[in-house]
Structure 1
Amino acid sequence: MTRITIVTDAWHPQVNGVVRSIDRNNTELRKMGVDVTMVTPQAFRTVPCPTYPEIRLSLTTPRRFAAEIAKGQPSYVHIATEGPLGLFARGWCRRQGLPFTTSYHTRFPEYVSARLPIPSSWLYAIVRRFHNSGAGCMVATESLARELTERGFVRLMRWSRGIDADLYRPRDKDFLDLPRPIFMNVGRVSVEKNIEAFLDLDLPGTKVVVGDGPQLDALRRRYPDTVFTGAKFGEDLARHYAAADVFVFPSRTDTFGNVILEALASGVPVAAYPVMGPIDIVGSHPVGVLDEDLRTAALGALEMSPEACRKLALTYSWQAAALQFLTNIRIANGERVANAPKIAQPSAAE
């Protein structure tokens, strides 16, 4: 049996794209008969991350970590994050002589530089060394692969994302009884998401922010006309998505943007900056508007077809993404994979 141990510093109860992606990927891998075990902060004593207390940093020792990862008797190891557990996993694999893969989920240097006066070039040197020491580094988009290649990253492999199209689907717009049009953002309410760029826009109707995070209380005080719902989950979250008229994605630092797919699957067009993530998903498809003037993008997206949004979202599959992940791991470990599937999402030009 194929046994994969995934090591991640980001895990429940955190609510973010990294956790959701790994969780759903694991579900599909298990359907394929893969034995997946996890090493997460839940197994260790933790302390809150400075400036971001919702993230817990694990406190452990090489010996304690080795005992935990050995429980899964892994034939393959995948390291999802560059945090304390990721570093312990890297050291353990090197001592065992076991190849490992990594994934680049977050633009960590930009994330840290937004909070602390540390040059991003220093941070990229650290992150590059971490990922280049593995047998392969998985990235979600072609534009991220190009950027990291220019920064000296090697052995990059594509691992896309999927969408739960049964949960996220067009629904009754009357779920939210608010002046229209409704412009919505969903995600972490934190500085790197650049939410103020959305909230500062002069737009008709109502702005709605769905999510929780360290900036929530401050933004509620600063923008009293915006509807802040707090975090939503499952059916409740899906109903909120579907009730919007435009999904506004102001982030300039995300590497993909799972929330973009969730909005599109709900039949809601997207307004965003022409940056990594939106370029890869929306591109030139008639499902949204990408513009450095976010107000222009938001108003223009009102003219997009909900049917086209849904159609594009349905081209993304978690089953395909999980198979891509598994194939990457086998290739990185030197296996010959017959008829290796080339699972790629549509390019912006298609």
Structure 2
Amino acid sequence: MKNIKICLVSDTVFDINGVSRFIQDFSKQALKFEKDFVVLTSTKKVPEEEFENIININPIFRMKMPFYKSLDLVFPNFFKIKEEIKRLNPDLLHISTPGTVGLSALICAKLLKIPVVGIYHTDFPAYLYKNTKKSFVKKGTIKFLKFFYSPYKALFCRSEEYFKTLKEQLNFEDEELYLLKAGIDIKSFDSSFKDNSIWEKYKVDKSRFKVLYVGRVSLEKNVHKLLAFWQKAELKNSQLILVGDKELKEQISDPTITYLGKRRGEELSKIYASSDCFIFPSTTDTLGQVVMEALSSGLPAIVTNKGGPKTFVTEKFGYILDINSFDEVKKALEELSKKDEKYYQKSKKAYEYMRDKSISHSFLDFWQKNEEILSRLKA
């Protein structure tokens, strides 16, 4: 087979979230392995670094995304997107988000007769239900997604946990579903970044047991439950560290809770490696990239029994629990805070588990599967 060309379209590329980091990492891997891979987006946001294979088409209009204030909802320039896709002439058009940019690309694909595949990053029906508590919103979202994904020739998902959901809700067949092999930039998230002096900057006592959460400080991530449990547990000599966009209305005034806001780059790497354990209360993530970043930094992880993270976290290096159970959450935190031999074994196993989960392995596996998809479509 000749070298294939892939154009990936996403509504989120330059934001601070797992999907954006994943797409940026894949862009770098494409350049590293000299693959014909281009990312197309439309945003007013400016990247921290330049990517020669990411094309940004200036949107006509933007506003804050409802229920997700850190993201923009844009009105893209459809004709420029169509012109760019026509110029690129990819063998496959990957659409990774069902937003306005993704919808524009989907229409372009139909007009230009380009086969469409995609990546299912977020459980949007569960996400919106979590924010609205309205069953009709969840049902309406499923109907829209069924329409949106109906032209897709294949769909990647970041954990097999969601294969059943994609078959039941979106009518995909087994042969149309592909596992997107998990992987992160393990060189950027490593225990070697540990630097306890970083806590002086944030006025955190470095002798305290530091429980880290990274992600949106928001309702659908169940951070409100985490905060309530934390204050009720009154754990001795422990500090909860929150990193990410704050969308909860609750004021954080507890001295045992530190909110650091957005952090990235080497600073984020140091925060991970200098913490003691990681907690991720979300039940709507299809993978949970931040959990992998924590494990790669040598942190035992506490995750929920719903969603993607439970598919790879084991008792060897973490806990899988019911986020609605205060007793389970408290017990896990108390056991880890002892920092005994059991804790250090979990830390060691977490680090070892991630050594073969590099973003390079993930990208090359992704590329091979896309070659298989294209061969199937041409057969």
- Please report the TM-score for the alignment, with normalisation by the length of structure 2: 0.81
Structure 1 SS opposite 2:102: helix
Report the CA distance between 1:224 and its aligned residue: 5.1
Superposed CA deviations along residues 236-275 of structure 1, whole A, max 9, x for unmatched, are 1111111211101111111111111111111110112122
- Determine which of 163, 166, 178 is the counterpart of 2:187: 166
C-alpha contact 1:7 1:79 (8 A) present in aligned 2:
yes
1:297 is the counterpart of 2:338: no
Report the CA distance between 1:33 and its aligned residue: 1.6
- Determine which of 91, 114, 130 is the counterpart of 2:107: 91
Percent identical: 26
Matches for 1:1-350 after TM superposition, within 5 Å: 1-12=3-14, 14-42=15-43, 43=57, 44-48=59-63, 49-60=65-76, 62-116=78-132, 117=134, 118-154=136-172, 155-170=176-191, 171-173=194-196, 175-176=198-199, 177-201=205-229, 202=233, 203-204=235-236, 205-215=238-248, 218-221=249-252, 223=254, 225-284=256-315, 286-292=316-322, 293-302=328-337, 303-304=342-343, 305=345, 306-335=347-376
Structure 1 SS opposite 2:285: coil
Structure 2 SS opposite 1:77: strand
Structure 1 SS opposite 2:190: coil
Report the CA distance between 1:81 and its aligned residue: 0.5
- CA distance in structure 1 between the aligned counterparts of 2:253 and 2:103, rounded to whole angstroms: 39
- CA distance in structure 2 between the aligned counterparts of 1:146 and 1:179, rounded to whole angstroms: 45
Runs of 4 or more consecutive aligned structure 1 residues displaced over 6 Å after TM superposition: none
- RMSD value over aligned CA atoms? 2.2
Report the CA distance between 1:79 and its aligned residue: 0.5
Report the CA distance between 1:190 and its aligned residue: 1.9
Superposed CA deviations along residues 164-190 of structure 1, whole A, max 9, x for unmatched, are 222212224454234521111111222
C-alpha contact 2:242 2:258 (8 A) present in aligned 1:
yes
Report the CA distance between 1:140 and its aligned residue: 0.7
- CA distance in structure 2 between the aligned counterparts of 1:180 and 1:19, rounded to whole angstroms: 32
- CA distance in structure 1 between the aligned counterparts of 2:186 and 2:197, rounded to whole angstroms: 21
Report the CA distance between 1:39 and its aligned residue: 1.7
Amino acid corresponding to residue 220 of structure 2 in structure 1: E
Report the CA distance between 1:8 and its aligned residue: 0.5
Amino acid corresponding to residue 326 of structure 1 in structure 2: W
Greater share of helix? 2
Partner of 1:344: none
For structure 2, which runs of at least 5 residues remain unmatched after alignment? 44-56, 200-204, 323-327
Partner of 1:347: none
C-alpha contact 1:241 1:266 (8 A) present in aligned 2:
yes
C-alpha contact 2:91 2:115 (8 A) present in aligned 1:
no
C-alpha contact 2:186 2:359 (8 A) present in aligned 1:
no
Relative to structure 1, is the Cα distance of residues 52 and 133 closer, same or farther in structure 2, using a 3 angstrom cutoff? same
Superposed CA deviations along residues 189-234 of structure 1, whole A, max 9, x for unmatched, are 222111122222213311111112323xx34445454111111111
Relative to structure 1, is the Cα distance of residues 111 and 336 closer, same or farther in structure 2, using a 3 angstrom cutoff? closer
Relative to structure 1, is the Cα distance of residues 222 and 126 closer, same or farther in structure 2, using a 3 angstrom cutoff? farther
Superposed CA deviations along residues 44-89 of structure 1, whole A, max 9, x for unmatched, are 2231223433212221354333113223232221101000111111
Amino acid corresponding to residue 365 of structure 2 in structure 1: Q
Structure 1 SS opposite 2:106: helix
C-alpha contact 2:60 2:77 (8 A) present in aligned 1:
no
- CA distance in structure 2 between the aligned counterparts of 1:67 and 1:336, rounded to whole angstroms: 25
- CA distance in structure 1 between the aligned counterparts of 2:153 and 2:336, rounded to whole angstroms: 41
Amino acid corresponding to residue 59 of structure 1 in structure 2: F
Relative to structure 1, is the Cα distance of residues 308 and 173 closer, same or farther in structure 2, using a 3 angstrom cutoff? farther
**Count of residue pairs the alignment pairs up:** 333
C-alpha contact 2:22 2:184 (8 A) present in aligned 1:
no
